[in-house]
Amino acid sequence: MDQLNQLLVQRRKKAAELAEMDVELYANDFKPTHHISEVLSSGSANEAVANLDDAPNVRASFKVAGRILALRKFGKASFLHIQDDSGRIQVYVKKEIVGEEFYSQFKKWDIGDIVGFKGKLFKTKTGELTILADAIKLITKSLRPLPEKFHGLTDVEMRYRQRYVDLIVNPEVRETFRKRIEIIRLLREFLSNRGFLEVETPMMQAVPGGATAKPFKTHHKALDMDLYLRIAPELYLKRLLVGGFEKVFEINRNFRNEGLSTRHNPEFTMLEFYQAYATYQDLMDLTEEMISWLTAEINGSMEVTYQEQVVDLSPPWKRYTIDEALIEVGGIDPGVLDDPKAVIQLAKERGIELEPLAGPGKAKTELFELLVEEKLINPTFITAYPTEVSPLARRNEADPAVTDRFELFITGREIANAFSELNDPVDQKKRFEKQIVERGDDEEIHPVLDEDYIRALEYGLPAAAGEGIGIDRLVMLLTDSPSIRDVIIFPHLKAEK
RNA sequence: GGGCCGUUAGCUCAAUUGGCAGAGCAACUGACUCUUAAUCAGUAGGUUGAAGGUUCGAUUCCUUCACGGCCCA
């Protein structure tokens, strides 16, 4: 617990004094009639005049509630600003109007208290729409001082640990999270309008699959079995296609037991969707349409400024095979890409450390990450990923060394990953087995082969394509947020000591 | 895991070469009926992230640790 400093002691003392005056400190009998934004945009706002006596009966009375953010007290009258979910408004409290008793209560109110007012709108000398309070009510007494009004709260550690304070004093943070909520709502709307069903699949899985990552492990006592928090919903969503649902999606959390950074949080939000009888080409078109529409809805324009870079999301978007990108963006000699030994050699020359079993496909994707990825500012689809690095993707018919897969990059970051699904159970089983060999002695990744998923494929997964979109990164782009922690409302930090 | 940077009043930040820890806002007391970063007069508020070391003297230099940030893996 905090040592009670002077400020906290003073607040507790005021609370006690109010209680002495029979004031309820945590009342729940005040019903606002309007949000602040509704008051400010009401008919009364247009009619408001400096002197209420000019038209005392024509204007409506409002009841509003909110938190005190600023307080300017005079001897017999005061101005304050309160904030609710919709905005801020000034309130004028006069002793002459609210009466001696209420004004003496009011004098014990502090910045941070949650309060209610009833009154009519008028305009001050300086033209600000203001509620002239004729009744006042304490709703919740605050026992802690808020950060300073001018600079707000800037200490990032405190902003993340005490997000509630960040939200009270930094309006742009509220705006970012409102946008996040709207983005997710619009994605649901877009997919629902196209016949996709939103489903829920297990967060706790006996065999973590669908991606290569370290899972979080937990234990079910009654069943006496280890379970893993999912690293991806993929294998369950495809089981639903086996079952006969043709278009499904899920927006939910994935968990990966790996490092934290400005782009990684241990739990993050993914949109995954699967469509029977579609190919990765169909999903490229769908993705382009979905994200450009989303951008226009959220941003009002196809141009987005991200960290001072201007990004143009107008379709059509650039499409490269990974080889084309390595040549045209990465500046690699085309001859090298056709020679497996030369590709591995080049990767090593560039300082890339490859596992002993890694082949040219792994070398290519590593070179891509090193030389190309950060240069893809405007939306760019990269296709024809090596089969070696795409264990769940269908092989390309013309060239079985690559898969029918794409990734989407914007501002140098991977936003989406999609492919035509591998539905041959024999091929799938071989690739799973190869992954388990390649994981080496790191048993935390791919602890066992998912036999049930193979069995499902044996019943028959219809030809299909599926895609995952990292929602946090998409929100970062559309809210100009430099860190994933700015778009995750309660990001993970080490425990406070 | 590695490198660099940061941690001072409730908040935002200062503190000269190692020499009395300060300001603004917030708070408290008083004045004030149109203020809006209100104003005026006064007051209080500190284990300088923690522990150790060097020194006559450490916010400042050194070591370790904690937490955070950025970059890298």
Cβ neighbours around A273 below 10 Å, total = 27
- Chain A residues 113 to 132 whose Cβ lies within 7 Å of strand B are 122, 124-128, 130
Cis peptide before A208 (omega within 30 of 0): no
H or E segment and range at residue A44: helix A43-47
- The answer to whether A78 and A71 are in contact (CB under 8 A) is yes
Within A 7-66, residues with CB less than 7 Å from strand B: 7, 10, 14, 50-51
- Strands A225-229 and A247-255, by their bridges, are unpaired
**Residues A388-411, buried b or exposed e (16+ Cβ, 10 A)?**
bbbbbbbbbeeeeebbbbbbbbbb
Nearest nucleotide from residue A160 CA, by C1' atom: B68
Please check whether strand B approaches the CB of A153 to within 7 Å: yes
Nucleotides of B under 7 A from a protein CB: 1, 6, 9-13, 24-28, 31-38, 44-45, 66-73
Please give the domain boundaries of chain A with CATH numbers for all domains.
Answer: 6-146 (2.40.50.140), 169-330+372-486 (3.30.930.10)
Place of tokens 């013309």: A398
Closest CA to A472 of A304, A315, A271: A271
pLDDT tens digits in sequence order for chain A, 497 residues long: 344 588 999 999 999 999 999 999 999 999 999 999 999 998 777 777 666 555 555 568 999 999 999 999 999 999 999 999 999 999 999 999 999 999 999 999 999 999 999 999 999 988 899 999 999 999 999 999 999 888 889 999 999 999 999 999 999 999 999 999 999 999 999 999 999 999 999 999 999 988 888 899 999 999 999 999 999 999 999 999 999 999 999 999 999 998 889 999 999 999 999 999 999 999 999 999 999 999 999 999 999 999 989 999 999 999 999 999 999 999 999 999 989 999 999 988 888 888 777 889 989 999 999 999 999 999 999 999 999 889 889 999 999 999 999 999 999 999 999 999 999 999 999 999 988 887 777 767 777 889 999 999 999 999 999 999 999 999 999 999 999 999 999 999 998 86
Q: How many CB atoms lie within 10 A of CB A59?
A: 18
Taking the C1' atom of every nucleotide in all shown strands and the CA of A149, the nearest one is: B25
* Separation of alpha carbons A41 and A120, rounded Å: 14
